[in-house]
Amino acid sequence: QVQLVQSGAEVKKPGSSVRVSCKASGGSLRDYTITWVRQAPGQGLEWVGRITPRLGIENHALKWKDRLKLRADKSTRTVYLDLSSLTSDDSAVYYCARENRETYHIGWLDPWGQGTQVTVSS
Amino acid sequence: DIQMTQSPSSLSASVGDRVTITCQASQDISSHLNWYQQRPGKAPNLLIYTASNMNAGVPSTFSGSGSGTKFTLTISSLQAEDAATYYCQQFHELPPTFGPGTKLEVK
């Protein structure tokens, strides 16, 4: 049974960058897509992007432009989210989740990591 | 992007009640709709996938239905531990989008 374990909370200055990691425990990420979702304080869920490690394919919302980069290290079963030029609007809990699919090219998210709090403050 | 709406935004019900939450998509999404439960301070948890398929371990009091643009999540007999916020999510096209959530209080 795969579990996703995320890195710890981060406090960053505006304009800096952050890296959040998501490691698969008890299984491999190789055949799956990992999705990132974030949740600002008191707000709903926002899809950030996804990466398929086996294919090296990344998709993310257009709003991120060049600020977001998703990476995968297959040898350590770890996926990384790198976000640059941080502003206070990026303060949120960032979740990773495994995407499951049957015949369609997008699917459902299960399981989820425990979440990583990112706080951007001067 | 496909817009998702949910109603109601919040509700309060008693243990044993039947509860229905509605989710509407801005265009036809076939059955490409998931439901998640999020308890306070916790990560979301998958309840229902592809509109009506129950995830393993989810109580049988939960069910999902619908297709096209209108979907419902039903809790047939509300339990105290069902207090949470419920989100629908479309996966018909990228980017997958979530509804704004329905906060359920158990009296």
Tens of pLDDT, residues A36-82? 999 999 999 999 999 998 888 899 988 887 999 999 998 888 999 99
* Contact residues, chain A to chain B, C-beta under 8 Å: 35, 37, 44-47, 59, 61, 95, 97, 100, 102, 104, 106-115
Q: Would you state the pLDDT for residue B33?
A: 98
What average pLDDT does the segment B61-88 reach? 98
Query: Is B103 part of the contact surface with chain A (CB cutoff 8 Å)?
Result: no
For the four alpha carbons of A88, A49, B35 and A33, in that order, the dihedral sign comes to: negative
pLDDT at A96 over 90: yes
pLDDT at A28 over 80: no
Distance from C-alpha of A69 to C-alpha of A51, rounded to nearest angstrom: 10
* Cβ-defined contact of B36 to A45 (cutoff 8 Å): yes
Work out the pLDDT band at B23, boundaries 50, 70, 90: very high
Q: Would you state the pLDDT for residue A104?
A: 79
pLDDT at A22 over 90: yes
Q: Are A39 and A114 in contact (CB under 8 A)?
A: no
Q: Would you state the pLDDT for residue A105?
A: 85
**Number of neighbouring beta carbons within 10 Å of residue A28:** 12
Q: Would you state the pLDDT for residue B51?
A: 97
Q: What is the mean pLDDT of chain B?
A: 97
Q: Would you state the pLDDT for residue A46?
A: 97
Q: Would you state the pLDDT for residue B45?
A: 98
Q: Would you state the pLDDT for residue A80?
A: 97
DSSP A26: S
Q: Which residue of A has its CA nearest to B103?
A: A44
Q: Which two tokens stand for residue A115?
A: 């979440």
pLDDT at B41 over 80: yes
**Number of neighbouring beta carbons within 10 Å of residue A77:** 19
State what percent of residues in chain B have pLDDT above 90: 100
Q: Would you state the pLDDT for residue A26?
A: 82
Instruction: Give the best residue of A103, A110, A114, A116 to mutate against chain B (max B CB count within 10 A).
Output: A110
Q: Would you state the pLDDT for residue A58?
A: 92
SS3 A71: strand
